[in-house]
Amino acid sequence: MNNIDKRVEEILAKMSLHEKIGQLNQPQTPLPEQTEKLKEMVRRGEIGSILMAVGATAGNDPQGDISVDFYNELQRIAVEESPSGIPLIFGRDVIHGHRTVLPIPLGMAASFNFDMIEKCYRDIAEEAMNDSIHWTFTPMLDLARDPRWGRIIEGAGEDPLVGASMAKAVVRGVQGDDLTARDSMLACAKHYVGYGAAEGGRDYHRAEISDYTLYNYYLPAFHAAVKAGAKTVMSSFNEISGEAVTSSRKYLTDILRGYLGFDGFVVSDYGCVEQLIPQGLADNRGDASRMALEAGLDMDMWDGCYHESLEKEVESGRLDIAVVDEAVRRVLRVKMMKGLFEHPYCDQHEIDRTEHLARARALARESVVLLKNEGNLLPLRKDTKIALIGPYVNERRSLLGSWTVDGKAEETPTLREEMAKVAGPNGGQILASSASGLSYEIAWMPYALIGCDVAVLAIGESWVVTGENKAVSNISIPEEQIALLKRAKMSGKKVVAVLFCGRPIALEGIAEYCDAILYAWHTGSEAAGAVTDLLYGDAVPSGKLPVTMPRLATHIPLYYNVTSSGRPVNCYYNQNAGNCYFDSIPTPYYPFGYGLSYTTFAYGDVRTEKDAIALDALKAGARFSFTFSLRNTGEYDAKETVQLYIHDPVAKMMRPLRELKAFEKVFVPKGEAVDVTLSVGYDELGYFLPDGSYTVERGKIEIYIGENCLTSQKAEICIL
Ligand code: GLC
Instruction: Specify the pLDDT at position 126.
Output: 98
Instruction: Specify the pLDDT at position 579.
Output: 74
Distance CA 507, CA 551 (A): 5
CA-CA distances (angstroms) from residue 690 to 87, 375, 473?
42, 49, 32
Instruction: Specify the pLDDT at position 576.
Output: 66
pLDDT category of residue 577 using cuts at 50, 70 and 90: low
Distance CA 131, CA 138 (A): 17
> Average pLDDT for residues 98-105, to the nearest whole number?
98
CA of 683 to the centre of ligand 1 (A): 33
Closest C-alpha to ligand 1, atom 8:
269
pLDDT digits (tens, 9 = 90+) for 657-700: 999 999 999 999 999 999 999 999 999 999 999 999 999 999 99
pLDDT higher than threshold 70 for residue 203: yes
CA of 329 to the centre of ligand 1 (A): 24
Atom of ligand 1 nearest to the CA of 237: 8
CA of 155 to the centre of ligand 1 (A): 13
pLDDT digits (tens, 9 = 90+) for 618-641: 999 999 999 999 999 999 999 999
> Average pLDDT for residues 532-558, to the nearest whole number?
97
pLDDT digits (tens, 9 = 90+) for 491-522: 999 999 999 999 999 999 999 999 999 999 99
pLDDT digits (tens, 9 = 90+) for 452-499: 999 999 999 999 999 999 999 999 999 999 999 999 999 999 999 999
Distance CA 241, CA 272 (A): 17
Closest C-alpha to ligand 1, atom 10:
137
Partners of residue 631 on adjacent β-strands: 602, 673
Convert 363-417 into a string of H (helix), E (strand) and C (coil). Answer: HHHHHCEEEEEHHHCCCCCCCCEEEEECCCCCCCHHHHCCCCCCCCHHHCCCHHH
Closest C-alpha to ligand 1, atom 12:
58
pLDDT higher than threshold 90 for residue 590: yes
Instruction: Specify the pLDDT at position 432.
Output: 86
What mean pLDDT, rounded, does the chain reach? 96
pLDDT higher than threshold 70 for residue 10: yes
Instruction: Specify the pLDDT at position 581.
Output: 87
Q: Where are the beta strands (DSSP E) in 451-551?
A: 454-460, 494-500, 516-519
Distance CA 109, CA 117 (A): 9
269 assigned to active site? yes
pLDDT digits (tens, 9 = 90+) for 341-361: 999 999 999 999 999 999 999
pLDDT higher than threshold 90 for residue 580: no
pLDDT higher than threshold 70 for residue 67: yes
Instruction: Specify the pLDDT at position 442.
Output: 82
pLDDT higher than threshold 80 for residue 575: no
CA of 341 to the centre of ligand 1 (A): 26
Closest C-alpha to ligand 1, atom 7:
270
Q: CB count, 10 Å around CB of 110?
A: 28
Report the residue among 302, 468, 469, 470 best suited for mutation to probe ligand 1: largest number of ligand atoms under 8 A from its CB. 468
> Average pLDDT for residues 113-128, to the nearest whole number?
98
Q: Which of 123, 146, 203, 269 is catalytic?
A: 269
Residue type, 101: V
Residue type, 479: E
CA of 53 to the centre of ligand 1 (A): 9
**Any idea what the Cα angle at residue 39 is, between residues 37 and 41, rounded to 5°?**
70
**Any idea what the Cα angle at residue 13 is, between residues 235 and 345, rounded to 5°?**
65
Closest C-alpha to ligand 1, atom 11:
270
Report the residue among 137, 185, 204, 246 best suited for mutation to probe ligand 1: largest number of ligand atoms under 8 A from its CB. 137
Atom of ligand 1 nearest to the CA of 59: 12
**Are 479 and 519 spatial neighbours (Cβ–Cβ below 8 Å)?**
no
Percent of the chain residues past pLDDT 70, beyond the cut? 99
Residues touching ligand 1 (Cβ under 6 Å) are 51, 53, 56, 58, 93, 137, 190, 269-270, 468
Q: Specify burial of residue 620 (Cβ count, 10 A radius: 0-12, 13-18, 19+).
A: exposed
Percent of the chain residues past pLDDT 90, beyond the cut? 91
Report the residue among 90, 170, 234 best suited for mutation to probe ligand 1: largest number of ligand atoms under 8 A from its CB. 234
CA of 51 to the centre of ligand 1 (A): 10
pTM of the model: 0.98
Instruction: Specify the pLDDT at position 566.
Output: 85
